[in-house]
Structure 1
Amino acid sequence: MTTSMNLLFITILLVAASTAIAETNMLQDLCVADLNGVKVNGYPCKDPTKVTPEDFYFIGLAQAASTSNTSMGSAVTGANVEKIPGLNMMGVSMSRIDYAPGGLNPPHFHPRASEAIFVLEGRLFVGFITTSGKLMSKHLNKGDVFVFPKALLHFQQNPNTATASVLAAFDSQLPGTQVVTPALFGANPPIPDDLLAKAFTLGTQEVQKVKGKFTPKK
């Protein structure tokens, strides 16, 4: 192959690559999610003639959620694409987390997003764990911001006698949440007892006792 043909071939590859990259972005003003459509790594676009301002509106973060019926004393109110269809293809979402005195948002991770929290009220102890096992933790006060890197285990605890709440922002329209303990001990079908016993250096009876606290996901 001659030098000129080599250059032409490289140029064609670069143009094709740049076109492919450009087309991962939205090619229209908006793509309001059709929540009844078939998902293929996201929601299809709603008929533009049926889009309304309500597709971009959500009032659910205005008031604190009740934590009285939660086992951990915390309640998460999501404002993702499933609540705000207009977020489809925008790569952002929010949530509000409310904590009772002593409440805990237990160790979990978001497989598709980094997270930044802003403390609305109260004080919290928060942290995340790196893949090398290092704990990065901080005591937060009202008005403080803390960031959790994508897909790393993290938690928030309210060790105080007053309630607390935060607003959380994510760089995904649907971050996903995997809480460690129920994911492992409440899996459906269940993970074998001997596997969990070895992984956590527990006896099988202890594993069965922990499993009894979680309802398997359907």
Structure 2
Amino acid sequence: MSSKLLVLLLIFSLNLRGCLVLASDPDPLQDFCIPNPLFGSIKTAHLSILPCKNSDEATTNDFVFSGLKSAGNFTDTGLATIPVNPTVFPGLNTLGMSFVRADLKVDGINPPHFHPRATEIAYVVQGRIYAGFVDSGNRVFARVIEQGEVMVFPRGLVHFLMNVGKTPATIFGSLNSQNPGNQKIPSAVFGSGINEELLQKAFGLSLKQIGTMKRRFNPKT
């Protein structure tokens, strides 16, 4: 049974007073769509559309990306990431995927975060990484993965990385959306402007402690 037929059957089985919402990257309607730099992007309420240039103008270079040969700039958590999406790699546009190179210094971490629109598969290029995710029942699935191993992080679930080896580590992550989003938990909680009284009650922290956390995750405050 085709996926389209399954969707139709599901729709007809719903109570007419209900509603059904489906969300994913749309299927491509052509072989490829190389963004036309002359038009930039079209902003809508939910996404940016990258208009295609004439397919006759596409070149091999549009489908090759050379920006992952070395690590990016490291943060104070010992993490360096290079996200790759259609804005830097035109050949990815409309193909429903993106990827990232993540490097971690010894003891470096990628703090808990999630991608609202994508599942991620992480491949360890080198090093030993403590990696895992938390499901909606607050169960942790985590272990140390080493060079050559792969771990999957389901869409929308909080996940994390920590270098537990004695040498720097490198991971390549592949995501099944060209715009997966990246919501970092510490920044979302303490760097977004949530009412301090609510944070006090939620975490049992003093106003001074909350102020410290806000300065750390939102330097503008």
- The TM-score range, normalised by the shorter chain, is 0.7 to 0.9
User: What is the alpha-carbon distance in structure 1 between the residues aligned to residue 176 and residue 146 of structure 2?
Assistant: 24
Q: 1:37 corresponds to which residue?
A: 41
Q: 1:88 corresponds to which residue?
A: 93
Is 2:216 aligned against 1:210? no
Q: 1:60 corresponds to which residue?
A: 67
Quick check: 2:106–2:164 contact (8 Å CA) kept in 1? yes
Q: State the secondary structure of the residue aligned to 1:184.
A: helix
Q: State the secondary structure of the residue aligned to 1:212.
A: helix
Deviations 1:71-97 (A, max 9, x none): 110111111122112211111111110
**1:46 Cα offset (Å):** 2.4
Quick check: 1:33–1:43 contact (8 Å CA) kept in 2? no
Q: State the secondary structure of the residue aligned to 1:140.
A: strand
Q: 2:166 corresponds to which residue?
A: 161
Question: So what's the TM-score if we normalise by structure 2?
Answer: 0.80
Structure 1 outlier segments of 4+, above 4 Å: none
* Range with bigger deviation, 195-204 or 208-217: 208-217
- Structure 1 unaligned residues grouped into runs of 5+: 1-13, 18-23
- Structure 2 unaligned residues grouped into runs of 5+: 1-7, 12-25
Quick check: 2:35–2:53 contact (8 Å CA) kept in 1? no
Q: State the secondary structure of the residue aligned to 1:183.
A: helix
**1:114 Cα offset (Å):** 0.3
User: What is the alpha-carbon distance in structure 1 between the residues aligned to residue 161 and residue 32 of structure 2?
Assistant: 34
AA aligned opposite 1:28: Q
Deviations 1:86-128 (A, max 9, x none): 2111111111100000000000000110000110001010010
Deviations 1:134-179 (A, max 9, x none): 0000111110000000010000100222110011111011211111
Quick check: 1:43–1:88 contact (8 Å CA) kept in 2? no
User: What is the alpha-carbon distance in structure 2 between the residues aligned to residue 209 and residue 44 of structure 1?
Assistant: 41
Question: So what's the TM-score if we normalise by structure 1?
Answer: 0.81
AA aligned opposite 1:155: F
Deviations 1:38-94 (A, max 9, x none): 134342322215433333221111223343xx1110111111122112211111111
Q: State the secondary structure of the residue aligned to 1:25.
A: coil
Match 2:195 to one of 184, 192, 195: 192
| Bigger radius of gyration among the two | 1
Match 1:28 to one of 1, 14, 30: 30
Report percent identity of matched pairs.
36
AA aligned opposite 1:39: K
Q: 1:11 corresponds to which residue?
A: none
Q: 2:18 corresponds to which residue?
A: none
Q: 1:182 corresponds to which residue?
A: 187
